[in-house]
Chain A
Amino acid sequence: MKLYLRYLAIHFKSQMQYKTSFFLTLIGQFLTAFSTFLGIWVMFTRFNTVKGFTYTEVSLCYAVVLMAFSLAETFFRGFDTFPRMIGNGEFDRILVRPRSPVFQVLGSKIDFTRLGRLLHAAVIFAWAIPRSGVNWNAANIATLCGMILAGSLVFAGLFLLYAGICFFTLDGLEVMNIFTDGSREFGRYPLSVYGDAVLRFLTFVVPIALFLYYPFLTLLGKSDSLLWRICPLFALLFLVPCYLVWRVGLLHYRSTGS
């Protein structure tokens, strides 16, 4: 953990070397995310509800996915830029150091500019939490935190999966962005909006719904199922296959060495 803080510090120092670039990117990230939010707002000025969800409810849902995604992007970005790492041989350096490769890849890139999105998510939370009509008791607060945490870990799992596949392709796979960026975009609305097939896919294949949709319903009081409330925990199972793919990829890499 201490070492991770060291990594954090060195990335912070690195990024502070380019102050202007850092702040411009930060602002850019904030504005990009904000424009998406405007899109939702414009829609709701025309239609008051979408599939029974109000504007504030949708904002809350959007804030959760945005927060989870930007946390993942800030801290797990090493896996996102992984093909470059393999390409330029940096990964060999990781293998000659006596620490776990996953940990070192995590430490290899920590992108603080993504905090712009985080800030944006925080703003929406601040706006939506008091207006959403949710009764903010301890259980609901815990559920919300669980949703965000599980969410960022699911995104981290997606990044890990992507990196694991890169061991074989030695190149980035744009198709994976369907799941990472795609999930983030999908998550703007409660997932039932997209119909049953999509919802099922996002429950059992890429478990976005497990941390975003089902517990969200319990938050809003649309369901009082305890199972749905603890759904974020099941989402964590997604990390298991992702890690396995990574392991297999690592073995493959070490036997081909390319």
Chain B
Amino acid sequence: MIELSHLHKTFRVARRNAGMGEAVRALFRREYTEIHALDDISFRIGDGEMVGYIGPNGAGKSSTIKVMSGILTPDSGSCVIDGCVPWRDRRAHVANIGVVFGQRSQLWWDVPVIDSFDLIRDIYRVEAHQYRADLDELCDLLELGEILRTPTRQLSLGQRMRCEIAASLIHRPRILFLDEPTIGLDAVSKLAVRDFIRRINRERGTTVILTTHDMQDIEALTERIILIGRGKILLDGALDALKAKHSALRRIAVCFAPGTTSPAARPLPQGIALLSADEGRAEFGVDTALHSVSSAIECLTRDIDVRDLSVTGQSTDELVISLYEEFRI
């Protein structure tokens, strides 16, 4: 159980203008601006939940993760995770969590992966028999077999990420923080990683908190999303409900014979907006609360030699973009 209430964290960041003179001046007198990285953050995550924590760069995602993993001490507010205050009972707390930073490795660079795993086992004081059983299972699920004997530096990014995730699970953490776990991975590796995360969540009941910019991750993994922007929680709810609410929008793409008048040229009724127009192709957004799809098609294709037509709903990417726009972050 994770419970955050009214977390605040302010950083002082030195600012200066460009230029040599300014640089020299900054040596002696600095101007600071305060950045509210966390501004009254509260939420609660139950055991075994899978939560997507999203927001644009610099919104405060990493700061929140850092507070929850005991790296960062907030200015005020409380955070209790399984009865521990992360920054106060750091060692007791971190024994129960696993953290994957997608951009940084926790494996030793020059030795075979299995050596890193063994060392991590000793760091967390994992029992030998539990370690063996878990390792077998992890290797099986993540298909690590051959990779284990390869030095980390020779692994591909996808292989490395699978090892990173396995490494974070060696001590059987109850909570797993994943900070952009699929960044830079190819499609196959992404699927493997997602599949595995889902499995760990289901079979071990591990609570998973995921930050990512990849909306397919969110879609594939999480039922609940928390949206943060400029240090504030803007939205916290089920992904499905959110989609239902925002799915009134449809996209209609019309391909028509070149040379004929484009439907983009005609006056459009309210609720239908032109998104893009090319030679022979135009794309419209339709608010289905105002127009049914069939009436919109009827209106858009009247007197036109239609070659092709497609209707699509909103993707999670677009959903998030429209959320960002809605909250102006």
Contacts and interface: CB of A to CB of B under 8 A. Distances in A.
A2 B122 contact: yes
Interface stretch (A7-15, A58-66, A172-180, A183-191): A7-15
Interface in B234-269: none
Nearest to B153: A17
Contacts of A88: 104
A256 interface: yes
Contact of A17 (B63, B101, B110): B110
Interface string A49-91: 0000000000000000000000000000000000000001110
A104 B91 CA distance: 13
Interface in A85-130: 88-90, 92-93, 95-99, 104
A257 B151 CA distance: 31
Given A93-B106, A98-B94, A98-B95, A3 B123 contact: yes
Query: What's the interface size class on A, roughly?
Result: 20 to 34
A14 B110 contact: yes
Interface string A8-50: 0010011101100000000000000000000000000000000
Contact of A14 (B66, B70, B71, B108): B108
A256 B123 contact: no
B104 A96 contact: no
A182 to B, nearest CB: 26
A97 B101 contact: no
Q: Which residue, of B90, B116, B118, B151, has the highest number of chain A Cβ atoms within 10 A?
A: B90
Contacts of A254: 71-73, 87
B115 A13 contact: yes
Contacts of A137: none
B111 A13 contact: yes
A97 B125 CA distance: 11
B90 A92 contact: no
Nearest to A92: B71
Contacts of A104: 123
B161 interface: no
A72 to B, nearest CB: 23
Contact of A10 (B91, B97, B99, B111): B111
Interface of B: 11, 63, 66, 69-73, 87, 90-92, 94-95, 97, 99, 101, 103-104, 106, 108-111, 115-116, 118-119, 122-124, 151
24 contacts: A6-B119, A10-B111, A10-B119, A13-B110, A14-B108, A14-B110, A17-B110, A17-B111, A17-B151, A18-B110, A89-B101, A89-B103, A92-B66, A93-B99, A93-B106, A95-B90, A96-B69, A96-B97, A96-B99, A97-B94, A98-B91, A254-B73, A257-B63, A257-B72
The 7 closest A-B pairs by CB, nearest first: A14-B110, A98-B95, A257-B72, A98-B91, A17-B110, A95-B71, A96-B99
